[in-house]
Chain A
Amino acid sequence: KNEVEQSPQNLTAQEGEFITINCSYSVGISALHWLQQHPGGGIVSLFMLSSGKKKHGRLIATINIQEKHSSLHITASHPRDSAVYICAVPSTQGAQKLVFGQGTRLTINP
């Protein structure tokens, strides 16, 4: 089973700061997901990437396949970015399954 570690577990920052959330996994993969879970509980998909970098608005996701590591960056953070960010990778048991990290709780103070 692929093991997924996220860091930090909790992160508090001031509005406007540059945020980095990290995700490491144990087994080589072909794709990685970043998800956002709102304070109300709903989950949305932010990115799915297999190489390089993807950008959507103030969010940037990068992946280094050789180092088995991905990062999610938020530029010019805002209180509405406060959420739990979760990375997920394919299970070694097959592409029909995902293994999730435990999440990083981000709080942005005004």
Chain B
Amino acid sequence: EAQVTQNPRYLITVTGKKLTVTCSQNMNHEYMSWYRQDPGLGLRQIYYSMNVEVTDKGDVPEGYKVSRKEKRNFPLILESPSPNQTSLYFCASSFGLASYNEQFFGPGTRLTVL
């Protein structure tokens, strides 16, 4: 089954404790992206990747890191999480550029930073 998976689905952590949210897709998509969703603000892009070893900042990259060592995986790293990073996070992928290709979303990761 074609899908985007994220882990963990739920995470409660404390300020400063490094964490990684994994994202994997099995559709051989070149484009992958991370979004956060907050009430009243909608979906906002954190980082995106056009292909292996090619990543770039989205609209809200501060406090986040990503890597794209393999085509299928695009982990989101929070080196020192803070309470303002409490949010619902989505990974998405597509064959090509986001604007012109159907986006496939992961199930979401609900993160709480205390």
Chain A residues near B (Cβ < 8 Å): 29-31, 33, 35, 41-45, 48, 86, 88-91, 95-98, 100-103
Contact = CB atoms under 8 A, between A and B. Distances in A.
Nearest to A4: B42
Contacts of A91: 99
4 tightest CB-CB pairs across the interface, nearest first? A90-B99, A95-B99, A43-B105, A100-B43
A90 B92 CA distance: 15
B90 A96 contact: no
Interface bin, chain B? 20 to 34
A110 B88 CA distance: 30
Contacts of B108: 41-43
Nearest to B97: A95
30 contacts: A29-B99, A30-B99, A31-B99, A33-B102, A35-B103, A41-B88, A42-B105, A42-B107, A43-B108, A44-B105, A45-B104, A45-B105, A48-B100, A86-B42, A95-B97, A95-B99, A95-B100, A96-B31, A96-B48, A96-B56, A96-B97, A96-B99, A97-B48, A97-B58, A97-B59, A98-B98, A100-B42, A100-B43, A102-B41, A102-B42
